[in-house]
Amino acid sequence: MADTAQVIQDERLKKEGLGTRLLRRPELGAIAGFVLVTAFFLYTADGAMFTLSGILNFMTPAAQLGILAIGAAMLMIGGEFDLSIGSMVAFAGLIFGAGVVTLGLPLILAIPLTLMVAAGIGAINGSIVLKTGLPSFIVTLAFLFILRGASLVGLKLASNGSTQLRGIRDAVEGDWLAPLFSGDALGPLFVWLADIGLVETFSNGTPKVTGIPVEIIWFVVITLVATYVLLRTPFGNWIFASGGDRDAASNSGVPVRRVKISLFMFAACCGAIVAIITVMDAGSTDARRGFMKEFEAIIAAVIGGCLLTGGYGSAIGAFFGALIFGMVTIGLTYTDFDQDWFQVFLGGMLLIAVLFNNYIRKRVTGER
Amino acid sequence: MALDTNFHHGDSPKDAPPILEMRDIEKHFGNIIALAGVSFDVRLGECHCLLGDNGAGKSTFIKTMSGVHKPTKGTITIGGKPMNFSSPREAMEAGIATVFQDLAMIPLMSVTRNFFMGREPTKGVGPFKRLDVERMNEVTMTHMREMGINLRAPDQAVGTLSGGERQTVAIARAVYFGARVLILDEPTSALGVRQTSNVLATIDRVRKQGVGVVFISHNVRHAMAVGDRFTVLNRGKTLGTARRGEITAEELQDMMAGGQEMAQLEGSLGGTV
Ligand SMILES: Nc1ncnc2c1ncn2[C@@H]1O[C@H](COP(=O)(O)OP(=O)(O)OP(=O)(O)O)[C@@H](O)[C@H]1O
Ligand SMILES: [Mg+2]
């Protein structure tokens, strides 16, 4: 069969260059942006930025944002928004903190509890959106406030009036699950790398970088899994279809409700994972955790090539969108520029990304 | 072009029980009565044409067959079993495939992904179950070629296809998945001469394979070319069902348009309609 396909040469098919084919990939813009931003900082920033510890220094916030951005991107490809994932970080932080400190639960119970509460709230968000047909924008905006407020009230209850819940580090100390969610991973590898001289060491011989912060590992793994699901599974096809045209997808047999509600649950769980990691890292939780992160996550997803109208985008793109974000936030401190350029830069990136995506969409759909 | 001489119509299986039977279907949208009690059936191996003017309720009717709308009143039985579809997916699982009037295609997605949307073939087991992309591409290319369209590439976005090419993808998809009943809602409205006769030939072929076909058209000639039975809808009601040979194209035409006015119009246009 493949042979006949090749025999029939279509005279109306121009040879497509590599460039045109690349242009059709949604993540192209973000990768190009990443290269540009890297070049910019290579040129302007102190050399320390691109040493191993410098890189991990901006990768860590990038990963914390990136996990949210992947959740936001998947949801956007599925045609919906969730403005409550930032507040979800605070709320899940409260559930987790109260679980380990107030209730004294071990991680093996506290973590599933946190994820289940988050998934439940995601499902509520999704069900309201789908039942009423209201824009997810407005429904999740309500939850942005509800969850933020509930976090404040809950924290006061759990900590007798303060808005910060402490003592989490002591509570999880020694728990066998803790290394999965806190500290550095791949420690032995770095000791070995230091031994063979690939990683700088302090004078006593311990490596200057003791491992990769776990959030970076989580970020990479979640990106890879999300990409696989999107491109290589039926569920991924359903995500694109549900976001592209809800009615057409449903009429073609795609279980649109199930797909969208799962995506809301996934995005909320991304918020919960960030909460668990950052709360364990800080040893305490407070009500401002995740503040404004929903917008940053959506911006990273858009820089990553997601269309605001749904049905198009990629997890790899969101990955690079988050990297750009982390690089710019931290990178400016390595330069002579005023740090407050950050927001100007961000707005500029967002604008360019949206214009670029719009142009790409017209090319892909051949809008006439 | 005398299309109706192209196909052999076996005696439509008069006494075979219908595979799909709709009884007194009513559909209300708020205070709009789109369907006011329509009965209709289709047997395996026949092509039952549904005709009617714009707004007569044809699309609404077939959407109750394919699980998009729940009928307000009335019953649907398939192979004698009463059915109550709550989603198009359930209708598909019962072997009903539909070409919707609006085609139900996603412009941003590739032809292949559209073709298999909702029914993707997989390979591998357990968590490693993944899309069988090669098979998907091959089936899509083959079936499009069978319908007389050479796709440039299976990963071309549907949005870049011409209207007729898009319609052909939708038809090829439904034919591929229509195990028992194939519903086509004005499938030829955007097609050229060659593709139209291709579609009519395809209807004839799947009918011979024993599939029940429901064919909606405004074009009486196309309907006469392949139809075994004809049902005319008017303002949400059936005007009756006729067998092939019991009715002429002119009579059908008149019924569709409500007789009188059409006759007058025909006179003033010099018989060109
Ligand atoms: N979702 C809906 N809400 C309200 N009214 C509807 C809806 N769908 C259809 N209708 C009405 O039902 C009637 C029948 O529409 P339908 O689409 O079934 O007509 P049709 O016979 O397919 O016409 P055409 O030949 O133009 O495709 C129309 O008057 C239409 O306005
Ligand atoms: Mg119609």
The H or E element that residue A13 is part of is: none
From the list B211, B135, B152, B131, the residue with the least C-alpha distance to B177 is: B211
With a pLDDT cut of 70, the percent of chain A lying above it is 89
For residue B76, pLDDT over 90 is answered with: yes
Q: For residue B161, what pLDDT is reported?
A: 86
B253 in contact with ligand 1, CB cutoff 6 A: no
CA–CA dist A357, A28 (Å, integer): 10
Instruction: Report ipTM for this prediction.
Output: 0.87
Q: Is A77 near chain B, with CB under 8 Å?
A: no
Q: For residue B250, what pLDDT is reported?
A: 85
Q: Is B272 exposed, middle or buried (0-12, 13-18, 19+ CB in 10 A)?
A: exposed
CA–CA dist B234, B256 (Å, integer): 7
For residue A21, pLDDT over 90 is answered with: no
Q: For residue B3, what pLDDT is reported?
A: 46
Q: For residue A1, what pLDDT is reported?
A: 39
Domain definitions of chain A by residue range: 29-37+47-358
For residue A3, pLDDT over 80 is answered with: no
**Tokens at B157, concatenated:** 């976005």
For residue A338, pLDDT over 90 is answered with: no
Which residue in this structure is represented by tokens 């990769």? A212
B85 φψ region: left (φ > 0), alpha (ψ -120 to 50), beta (else): beta
**What would you measure as the largest C-alpha separation in chain B, in angstroms?**
69
Q: Is A47 exposed, middle or buried (0-12, 13-18, 19+ CB in 10 A)?
A: exposed
Domain region containing B61: 33-106+163-168+178-270
Q: For residue A367, what pLDDT is reported?
A: 54
Report the pLDDT averaged over residues A93-121: 93
Whether residues A311 and B122 touch (CB distance < 8 A) is answered with: no
Torsions phi, psi of B242, nearest 5? Answer: -125, 145
pLDDT interval class at B256 (50, 70, 90) = confident
**Could you tell me which CATH class the domain A29-37+47-358 is placed in?**
mainly alpha
For residue A4, pLDDT over 50 is answered with: no
Q: For residue B227, what pLDDT is reported?
A: 92
Helices (H) and strands (E) in chain B, counts: 9, 12
Q: Which residue has the higher pLDDT, A12 or B150?
A: B150
Q: Please name the residue ranges forming H helices in chain A.
A: 2-7, 18-23, 28-44, 52-77, 85-97, 107-132, 136-158, 168-172, 178-181, 187-195, 214-232, 234-244, 246-251, 256-282, 293-303, 315-331, 341-365
The residues facing B122 across adjacent strands are B131
Per-residue HEC secondary structure of B121-175 comes to CEECCHHHCEECHHHHHHHHHHHHHHCCCCCCCCCCEHHHCCHHHHHHHHHHHHH
Per CB-CB distance under 8 Å, the chain A contacts of B159 are: 364-367
Report the pLDDT averaged over residues B177-199: 87
Give B53 Cα–ligand 2 centroid separation in angstroms.
Answer: 9
**Alpha-carbon distance A348 to nearest alpha carbon in chain B (angstroms):** 27
Q: For residue B152, what pLDDT is reported?
A: 80
Q: Provide the mean pLDDT of chain A.
A: 86
Establish how many alpha carbons lie within 13 A of residue B164's alpha carbon, considering only the half-sphere containing its beta carbon.
Answer: 15
Residue B225 lies in a domain: yes
B101 in contact with ligand 1, CB cutoff 6 A: yes
Which of A232, A233, A254 has the CB atom closest to B117's CB atom?
A: A254
With a pLDDT cut of 70, the percent of chain B lying above it is 89
Per CB-CB distance under 8 Å, the chain A contacts of B100 are: 251
CA–CA dist A335, A54 (Å, integer): 13
Q: Please name the residue ranges forming H helices in A245-314.
A: 246-251, 256-282, 293-303
For residue B5, pLDDT over 50 is answered with: no
Report the pLDDT averaged over residues A250-265: 95
Residue B120 lies in a domain: no
pLDDT interval class at A75 (50, 70, 90) = very high
Q: In what order do the strands lie in the sheet with B20-29?
A: B32-42, B20-29, B73-78, B81-83
CA–CA dist B18, B214 (Å, integer): 12
Q: Which residue has the higher pLDDT, A366 or A193?
A: A193
Of A61-70, A341-350, B224-233, the poorest mean pLDDT is in A341-350
A121 in Cβ contact with A143 (< 8 Å): yes
The amino acid that residue B162 corresponds to is S
Q: For residue A5, what pLDDT is reported?
A: 41
- Residue B185's Cα: distance from chain center in Å? 4
CA–CA dist A163, A324 (Å, integer): 32
Residue B141 lies in a domain: no
pLDDT interval class at B41 (50, 70, 90) = very high
Q: Is A22 near chain B, with CB under 8 Å?
A: no
**Residue pLDDT, tens place only, B10-23:** 544 556 788 999 99
Q: Which of A20, A224, A237 to probe the B interface (max B CBs under 10 A)?
A: A237
Atom 28 (ligand 1) nearest CA: B55
Which of B104, B108, B114 has the CB atom closest to A312's CB atom?
A: B108
CATH number, residue B69? 3.40.50.300
pLDDT interval class at B36 (50, 70, 90) = very high
Report the pLDDT averaged over residues B150-176: 87
Which of A228, A247, A255 has the CB atom closest to B89's CB atom?
A: A255
Q: Is A368 near chain B, with CB under 8 Å?
A: no
- Collapsing DSSP to helix, strand or coil, B35 comes out as strand
Instruction: Tell which atom from ligand 1 comes closest to the C-alpha of B69.
Output: 1
Report the pLDDT averaged over residues A242-269: 95
Domain count, chain B: 1
Q: How many CB pairs under 8 A join A and B?
A: 106
**Alpha-carbon distance A48 to nearest alpha carbon in chain B (angstroms):** 42
With a pLDDT cut of 90, the percent of chain B lying above it is 45
B56 in contact with ligand 1, CB cutoff 6 A: yes
Query: What Rg do the C-alpha atoms of chain A give, in angstroms?
Result: 22
For residue A302, pLDDT over 60 is answered with: yes
Torsions phi, psi of A283, nearest 5? Answer: 80, 0
From the list B4, B3, B51, the residue with the least C-alpha distance to B245 is: B4
Whether residues B87 and A250 touch (CB distance < 8 A) is answered with: yes
For residue A362, pLDDT over 70 is answered with: yes
Q: How many CB atoms lie within 10 A of CB B128?
A: 10
Report the pLDDT averaged over residues A11-33: 69
Q: Which residue has the higher pLDDT, A193 or B34?
A: B34
- Residue A10's Cα: distance from chain center in Å? 42
Residue B38 lies in a domain: yes
DSSP letter (8 states) at residue A305: T
The residue to mutate among B58, B65, B217, having the most atoms of ligand 1 within 8 angstroms of its beta carbon, is B58
**Tokens at B78, concatenated:** 């398939």
For residue A57, pLDDT over 50 is answered with: yes
Residue B124 lies in a domain: no
> Regarding beta strands B212-216 and B229-234, do their DSSP bridges make them parallel or antiparallel, or are they unpaired?
unpaired
A14 φψ region: left (φ > 0), alpha (ψ -120 to 50), beta (else): beta
pLDDT interval class at B268 (50, 70, 90) = low
Q: Please name the residue ranges forming H helices in A159-245.
A: 168-172, 178-181, 187-195, 214-232, 234-244
**Tokens at A333, concatenated:** 């401190």
Closest-approaching ligand to the CA atom of B68: 1
B44 φψ region: left (φ > 0), alpha (ψ -120 to 50), beta (else): beta
The residues facing B50 across adjacent strands are B216, B231
Which of A1, A13, A233 has the CB atom closest to B131's CB atom?
A: A233
CA–CA dist B25, B184 (Å, integer): 19
B16 in Cβ contact with B44 (< 8 Å): yes
B244 in contact with ligand 1, CB cutoff 6 A: no
From the list B187, B220, B155, the residue with the least C-alpha distance to B59 is: B187
Q: How many CB atoms lie within 10 A of CB A207?
A: 20
Q: Which residues lie below 8 Å from residue A124, measured CB to CB, with a gap of 6+?
A: none
Q: Which residues lie below 8 Å from residue A36, measured CB to CB, with a gap of 6+?
A: none
B59 in contact with ligand 1, CB cutoff 6 A: yes
DSSP letter (8 states) at residue A16: P
For residue A254, pLDDT over 90 is answered with: yes
Q: For residue B1, what pLDDT is reported?
A: 40
Residue B158 lies in a domain: no
Whether residues B160 and A366 touch (CB distance < 8 A) is answered with: yes
Per CB-CB distance under 8 Å, the chain A contacts of B152 are: 10, 12-13
Q: Is A360 near chain B, with CB under 8 Å?
A: no
The residues facing B77 across adjacent strands are B21, B82
Per CB-CB distance under 8 Å, the chain A contacts of B150 are: 8, 10
CA–CA dist B169, A81 (Å, integer): 31
From the list A299, A260, A272, the residue with the least C-alpha distance to A87 is: A272
For residue A68, pLDDT over 90 is answered with: yes
Give B72 Cα–ligand 1 centroid separation in angstroms.
Answer: 15
> Regarding beta strands B181-185 and B212-216, do their DSSP bridges make them parallel or antiparallel, or are they unpaired?
parallel
Q: Which residue has the higher pLDDT, A65 or A211?
A: A65
pLDDT interval class at A141 (50, 70, 90) = very high
B98 in contact with ligand 1, CB cutoff 6 A: no
A291 in Cβ contact with A68 (< 8 Å): no
The amino acid that residue B195 corresponds to is Q
Q: For residue A266, what pLDDT is reported?
A: 97
Q: For residue A260, what pLDDT is reported?
A: 96
For residue B64, pLDDT over 90 is answered with: yes
Q: Provide the mean pLDDT of chain B.
A: 85
A82 in Cβ contact with A268 (< 8 Å): yes
**Residue pLDDT, tens place only, B212-229:** 999 998 888 899 999 999
DSSP letter (8 states) at residue B203: H
The residues facing A184 across adjacent strands are A213
Q: Is A244 near chain B, with CB under 8 Å?
A: yes
B86 in contact with ligand 1, CB cutoff 6 A: no
* pTM to 2 decimal places: 0.89
